[in-house]
Amino acid sequence: MSTHEAFMQRAIDISREALTKPGCNPFGAVVVRDGVIVGEGLNHAGAHFDPTSHGEVEAIRDACRRLECLELKDCDLYTSCEPCALCVATMSVVGIRKLYYAASLDQSGAALSSALRPAIDVAKVRSEAGRAAHDRDMPAEQIGASAALEILDAWAKSKQAPA
């Protein structure tokens, strides 16, 4: 078994835990750096009442805590299913170097269409995530920008290196 296959097998084994863990969905992931697993995650959305508790996000959270960092630019992610837009966004924020996945979104969606409630419209989520707030289907209104910007500016100034 190749190293890639071993890491993928671990992600799939983690996803299998959902068969016996209440409130878990069968999505597992691992984050790998320099040939070592530094983070693992299982989708605990139902168990934690947390719609962001996807396997990939949990693996990234675990890796960041273990490594005490917010960037994973030298890490790869292996996941049992192709990540949704939420997970892709999280992977992009931390800079995951490469993604390896087993089942595609279409394959996992077809397999789980009768089991996941509410059903997730993957195409809509992808479309909405890439649009500006005022262009999305969900109504949005901007309020209090000047007060928020004052805080952002003050925080940014406090982080600047002295000249």
Largest CA-CA distance found in the chain, in angstroms, rounded: 60
Out of 56, 58, 71, 128, the active site residue is 56
Is 56 part of the annotated catalytic residue set? Answer: yes
DSSP H helical segments within the chain, as ranges?
3-16, 45-48, 55-67, 85-94, 105-112, 122-129, 145-159
Q: Which residues contact 129 (CB under 8 A, 6 or more apart)?
A: 85, 86, 89
Q: How far is CA 52 from CA 47, 57, 84, 155, in A?
A: 12, 7, 11, 27
Question: Using DSSP, how many helices (H) and how many strands (E) does the chain show?
Answer: 7, 4
| Residues with a known catalytic role | 56
